[in-house]
Chain A
């Protein structure tokens, strides 16, 4: 059987990849995808710990996270479309109207 620590380490790596992509990537959609990656790392952690504690509540939490992530994606994509209409760009470096 695969030890639980493998899943936790994989989740931690995924989370860090998500953070790195969030900070490095310049396309708004990719930045948004890296947030989803971080949420999926959280889900993996929950499922792994749920197995470790023999408790179903961790898996239930995952469903809530997925539902909320879907709601967030709906709002997020709408905001991205609104931005694209206003600025004709998806590059995050060009979204800089508000510098003092």
Chain B
């Protein structure tokens, strides 16, 4: 197989699956179930994960990253990790939404195809080392998620959520693009490898710094870091729960992959400048996320603010400039994905398509009717608090210890303080689930989760437990992938010790 095709194999497989779903959709009779299309998408996603694993074996055998398409695509362990993460998130979400769209929705086929296309864009982002490819990947993933956010067509909140996501997302893209244009102006290239050698010695240092700042602002929007978080609660509230499970984890993971490459690989010499911005984002995200969540009555809005706070915790890992900072950030994306996807999939099962449970009051006493699902939701919430032996604990532990090693103890103290605040609102939901119901409560959906959905929930729970009990395996793998990210940076021995 040609090296170019091999470099993009997971993306190609997913694109083919998405196109097949789109082609097959109008061939099915109008009233028939769209489940076979869902299984086709699941097959495509699983195959693309296998393709990513084959790439991993090949990279390990070669001992060096592989390049494709004129050095715009780089396959290394970092990109393989994010490929596998994105594929698993999409796979789990697909499994859980097979039944979600049964019945009231006639256009479920498009949903499966859009998830495949979105995943393609995210994977493309995580393996590109050229800002043009990053931009294209970002747009493929964004445009698909804009549509997915408004998928419950009948509801007014759905189109409102899609509109807000679309307007603010494109606004952010314009910032990223202006940053790329300025980086091109400062160095004459948009390749991250060239940026690494040229950006700090550019004869227009102001433009170079402005370029990094603009790109950071654009990416900050995408990972919903404060002060660019305003869209998050509204979008998460109006979008369908399984879509929120996907878009609160997978696109963010892809953007973190780009940030790691851009900051650690492309602009290590400007670390003094970008670190100030990152710390500002981190501290503000933790405070706004946690304090905002305290004020929310709607559960999805509360989880949206919690995802802002988690973006803040993750960004603290960037404070260290070592391999374990990259490993900690990657570990955090995986841990956050396992518990957040899990939590939103439980909400999907509890509330059904119409989402009749919304506020904390509605969730009061749900544990009596759906004990297993409530226990699972409680477990994911405990993991988000960071109780030991869950994924959330080690994610925070590694992120904070990376910051500590970078010499930013004040950042760690603020982070720990915030984890304390966070207990309050997670526990409030947990207590509501298990307290006796108020007089008039909305009924949770009574349909039993299908086998596929049970499988998806079990996978999330297993991942959360697994990362909490045996974090070392993944971390070891990630540390092995980190040097490849950190290589080719001249004259950084001082900060690397």
Contacts and interface: CB of A to CB of B under 8 A. Distances in A.
Interface of A: 8, 15, 18, 22, 28, 31-32, 35, 38-39, 41-42, 45-46, 48-50, 52-53, 55, 57-58, 60-61, 64-65, 68, 71-72, 75-76, 79-80, 82-83, 85-87, 95, 97-98, 100
Contacts of A79: 146-147, 150, 159, 162-163, 166
Judged by DSSP, the binding face of B is: helix
Nearest to B146: A75
A9 B174 CA distance: 17
Contacts of B181: 42, 45-46, 49, 58, 61
Nearest to A32: B167
B132 interface: yes
17 contacts: A28-B163, A31-B167, A35-B167, A35-B171, A45-B178, A45-B182, A49-B185, A61-B132, A61-B180, A61-B190, A68-B139, A72-B139, A75-B147, A76-B166, A86-B160, A98-B161, A98-B238
A16 B296 CA distance: 34
Contact of A41 (B156, B178, B184): B178
Contacts of A76: 146, 166-167, 170
B301 A100 contact: yes
A39 B177 CA distance: 8
Contacts of A98: 157, 160-161, 233-234, 237-238
Contacts, number: 120
Given A45-B185, A82-B150, A38 B178 contact: yes
A79 B161 CA distance: 10
B297 interface: yes
Nearest to A78: B147
Contacts of B155: 86
B157 A97 contact: yes
Contacts of B184: 46, 49-50, 53, 57-58, 61
A72 B143 contact: yes
Interface string B282-314: 000000000000011110010000000000000
